[in-house]
Structure 1
Amino acid sequence: MSTLDKWLPLWIGIAMVAGLLLGRFVPAVSEVLTRLEFGGISTPIALGLLVMMYPVLAKVRYDKVAAITGDKKLLIASLMLNWLVGPAVMFALAWIFLPDLPEYRTGLIIVGLARCIAMVVIWNDLACGDSEAAAVLVAINSVFQVVAFSFLGWFYLVALPGWLGLDTQGLDVSVWQIALNVLVFLGVPLIAGFASRWIGEKRRGRAWYEGTFLPRVGPWALYGLLFTIVLLFALQGEAITTSPIDVARIAVPLLVYFGFMWFLGIAVGKSLGLGYARSTSLAFTAAGNNFELAIAVAIGTFGASSGQALAGVVGPLIEVPVLVGLVYVSLWIARKWFRTDPYAPSLSSP
């Protein structure tokens, strides 16, 4: 593990604090980020995510992707965890922990519907998960996100609460907004990563590409991650620091959610015999959420100063440190539960 990776929790902690302080004491930063939006997406944050994702997707061996798509156990498990279990778990936790706070409850449910297609590739890579499997799973999530997000929003905010005699909340979000989110946060870096490998290997060979090029661009993934965290927390730093009790109440169900979904994913992978690398990819894709989409939908539907938007912002506030911690838990589980070395070169190979 490199020095940058080894001290990652410290760098992330510094980035979070820096972002919160910027948002709290330099409100102009938040205003600038809000102005630099296109289709509900902050351009600087999008740039940070693209820089973060490109090195990881450039690392993927796309000639192995076909083999991953043939792993029906992995694909079915991912679909079940992401689109049946995850939203249902968040719905239940939102009502259990926030029965008296409908705005925050709705915001949490929206977070649960937005399945991760971006930052999860970083956590998977740090935990030595299967890069090819992660690329396939986030691609599948992106397709389901476009076709299922609006329906699930109606189901969990209108239909199911109505059947149970609970309060209902509407959700107005366009397919275009979701498709744009998927295109920016997955499509662009995926195409760039594929093109880099294809051109690099064709001109210089795989040995040069993986031995020289990837080590040069690799650190930029974490630079992009830290840059994104600073901007993300600066965007809502004032709201977070001025409402600590509300943030704490929103944080509790999120902590339970991320921990539960991750351990469920790793346990399901283990029980299906997927091995450590693919079980890890399954766990992180099940636990992670697309915070950018959740925040954009909450702001677009309910307003930037709404409780729903604050709940969306608290999502990455909790998700980032929790999933960083789970990276180290997964490395421990690799040795103790899967009896394997997570840094073995052949670990991610079928």
Structure 2
Amino acid sequence: MVIIWNDLACGDREAAAVLVALNSMFQVVMFAVLGWFYLSVLPGWLGLDQASISTSPWQIAKSVLIFLGIPLLAGYLSRRLGEKVKGRQWYESTFLPKIGPWALYGLLFTIVILFALQGDQIISRPLDVARIALPLLAYFALMWGGGYLLGAALGLGYQRTTTLAFTAAGNNFELAIAVAIATYGAASGQALAGVVGPLIEVPVLVGLVYVSLALRGRFRTTDPTSVPAAGGS
């Protein structure tokens, strides 16, 4: 989804692909560790009630390896083998356009099923939905705004500043949904939080795409990462 938002905002697609790949590898290694830290360690430091985790960090790590590690490995092998057998031109112009949309189809199917399972809870527990939504709204505002300001301060230019902002704001709800279902079940409160994620992320990031495009004129026209419009003066 990060690459989709990046494309809509006319960001640097190659830079976005690199950052998304690095982020995915980081998650494979650190997702379970950070989950354990935020649920079991940090609340104690802050004087809050510590969550009682009924599952081990290894079970969470196993879910991450299945839902993120396997696709990463499959993508790597498909590129290496596809380019070796058919060549890069065939791989990028024929294979990728055919297989690319299936990722979005799978995500949409998962979200539809989850809404079917969690629809009653979303309607009957508005306060819980609000408690999930408010931190997400703050997260998107802080991460996107911080990424945008950092990119502008570093002089990255519009395209790479936009890429940095949307990469920072992306919360990978796809992985969160997969791990929540595999670890706690499709009818759990954790899965409910995963369902609320897209409800907030999609409209907020669509709005941020328009904000980003509106701010485009504030960057210098000599932006080295920008592609001049055809026929422009």
Gaps of 5+ in 1: 1-118
Q: CA deviation at 1:226?
A: 6.9
Partner of 2:16: 134
Q: Secondary structure at the match of 1:139?
A: helix
Partner of 1:235: 114
Q: Distance in 1 between matches of 2:205 and 2:183?
A: 28
Partner of 1:177: 63
Deviation per CA, 1:276-306: give whole Å up to 9, x if none. Answer: 1111111111111121221232233333322
Q: CA deviation at 1:261?
A: 0.8
Give the % identical residues. Answer: 54
Deviation per CA, 1:37-88: give whole Å up to 9, x if none. Answer: xxxxxxxxxxxxxxxxxxxxxxxxxxxxxxxxxxxxxxxxxxxxxxxxxxxx
Matched to 2:176, the amino acid is: A
Q: Distance in 1 between matches of 2:192 and 2:156?
A: 37
| TM norm structure 2 | 0.77
How many residues align? The count is: 217
Q: CA deviation at 1:157?
A: 1.0
Contact kept in structure 1, 2:147 and 2:165, CA below 8 Å:
yes
Please report the RMSD computed on the Cα atoms of aligned residues, expressed in angstroms: 3.4
Gaps of 5+ in 2: none
Q: Distance in 2 between matches of 1:179 and 1:259?
A: 30
Q: CA deviation at 1:133?
A: 1.0
Measured at CA, do residues 121 and 148 of structure 1 come closer, stay the same or move farther in structure 2, by a change above 3 Å? same
Contact kept in structure 1, 2:8 and 2:209, CA below 8 Å:
yes
Contact kept in structure 2, 1:233 and 1:317, CA below 8 Å:
no
Task: Give 2:87's match in structure 1, choosing from 199, 204, 209.
Answer: 199
Aligned residue runs from structure 1 range 1-350, under 5 A: 119-169=1-51, 170=53, 172=56, 173-189=59-75, 192=78, 195=82, 199-201=87-89, 213=93, 217=97, 221=101, 225=104, 228-229=107-108, 231-237=110-116, 238=119, 239-335=121-217, 337-340=218-221, 345=227
Q: CA deviation at 1:199?
A: 2.4
Matched to 2:31, the amino acid is: F
Measured at CA, do residues 120 and 186 of structure 1 come closer, stay the same or move farther in structure 2, by a change above 3 Å? farther
Q: CA deviation at 1:123?
A: 0.9
Measured at CA, do residues 189 and 321 of structure 1 come closer, stay the same or move farther in structure 2, by a change above 3 Å? farther
Measured at CA, do residues 142 and 227 of structure 1 come closer, stay the same or move farther in structure 2, by a change above 3 Å? closer
Measured at CA, do residues 231 and 175 of structure 1 come closer, stay the same or move farther in structure 2, by a change above 3 Å? closer
Measured at CA, do residues 187 and 290 of structure 1 come closer, stay the same or move farther in structure 2, by a change above 3 Å? farther
